[in-house]
Amino acid sequence: MDISIVGAHNTQFGAFVKRDRETGEVEDLKSFYELIIEAGAGAIADAGLEAKDIDAVWLGSCSPSMFVNQEHVAPLALEIDPDGLLYKPTTRTEGACATSSVAIYNAAYAVASGRFKNVLALGVEKMSLLDTKGVTHALACSSYWPEEGSMGVTFPGLFGELAKAYQAKHGMSDEELRIMFAHIAAQNYRNGIHNPLAHFGPGSLPDKKQLVTADAILDLPDSGKGSNPLIAPPLRLHDCSLISDGAAAVVLTSTENAKANFNHAVELSGIGHVTQRMMMSERKETLHELQAAKHAVQQACTEAGVKVTDMELAEVHDCFTINQMLCAEAMGLSESGRAGYDFMEGKYDTDGSCPINLSGGLKSKGHPVGATGASMHALAYKQLIGDPIGVAAKGQPELAMTVNIGGSGVTNCVSVMRRVK
């Protein structure tokens, strides 16, 4: 479509709290509200605009009522600049882990309608105020509650089922799958430790422990301090993304306006937005693949008039290592059952034809669920305009793809992004 990103900002991702081990009290070091303001103001400034130039705001947050006891969050966008944004329309979106891709798409549709000229799309989540049990429950509410969340099924458990289905479909041993997962985790750690905004960035645990090779992860013990225990078989601790706080935002306008009046423009040349049935009980025969994501990739590529093989980098949804494999296959970059081997062989490393997750992905950059889609778009935008954050794509890339997935393969958002200025 003829809509472009002309500015972007990604906050630092991390766990911005201080816990008193004796009293259990938690101090909030960077609030939900501060994250919104930083991301929004940063994106507007990056576009060379002022808040008064923004006609409307879409704000995505997955579960703020559970994470920070706050609903009715869209009006909080006005706090970015109360004078400049007062009386502007604001809308909240929610799509589990794809929440802020949905915000971006709805913002883009609004510009395409001709109703608005410049819009802001933002995603935010503040997760770390809750303990692990609380986060697990909040996220489980994005599953099909009657059959999954209410029965104690967690998201690691849901993706563990996808991994088992994949393993059975392709006849893989436990050890073979474990080695594949270790290669993916190590690749994301290698990239993440060079990303100054990443939760597991420079100086973090993977950097200090040098968990940047598959062997280093495979050598970790199964239990005890510094271990890599099973969380939801076959998934282990280092197969899981992080509980993170953060926000990201982009400014969108028509491509015509972007070319005429902005320093940089990256077009959303193709959008694929596809929804799968939520209950996994209705998808038992296809859990080994992301069928809806395949359709979303096809939609986005058809609209953009490109092939997947034209992509020069991709940011994909590695909430768990198995999903990074499934995304590579859904994109069509790897054949069915081959993604793990391709990662082992370094096909998607920094020197590959289409490196995956140069940011470190959700596994290393972090996964503040409501911010993840906007972050993918923001960092891909920075790569395409030649201002990369962290590991740079080789050459001067023109095309990128984001694959953002909410729930257990349910809300599927795929963007083809093309540098046009």
CA atoms of 236 and 217, how far apart (whole Å): 10
CA atoms of 10 and 42, how far apart (whole Å): 8
Of 301, 296, 255, 246, give the one whose Cα is nearest residue 108.
255
Catalytic residue among 183, 238, 367, 377: 367
Q: Which two tokens stand for residue 75?
A: 């009006």
399 within 8 A of 416, measured Cβ to Cβ: yes
Q: How many helices (H) and strands (E) does the chain have?
A: 15, 13
Of 221, 224, 238, 233, give the one whose Cα is nearest residue 182.
238
Catalytic residue among 9, 62, 97, 199: 97
Place of tokens 């998934």: 235
The helix/strand/coil state of 143 is coil
CA atoms of 222 and 231, how far apart (whole Å): 11
The helix/strand/coil state of 96 is coil
Of 265, 284, 280, 246, give the one whose Cα is nearest residue 100.
246
Q: Is 97 a catalytic residue?
A: yes
Q: Is 367 a catalytic residue?
A: yes
Place of tokens 């968990």: 211
Radius of gyration in angstroms for the set of CA atoms belonging to the chain, rounded to a whole number: 20
Query: Quick check: bond before 368 cis, omega within 30?
Result: no
* Residues with catalytic roles: 97, 367
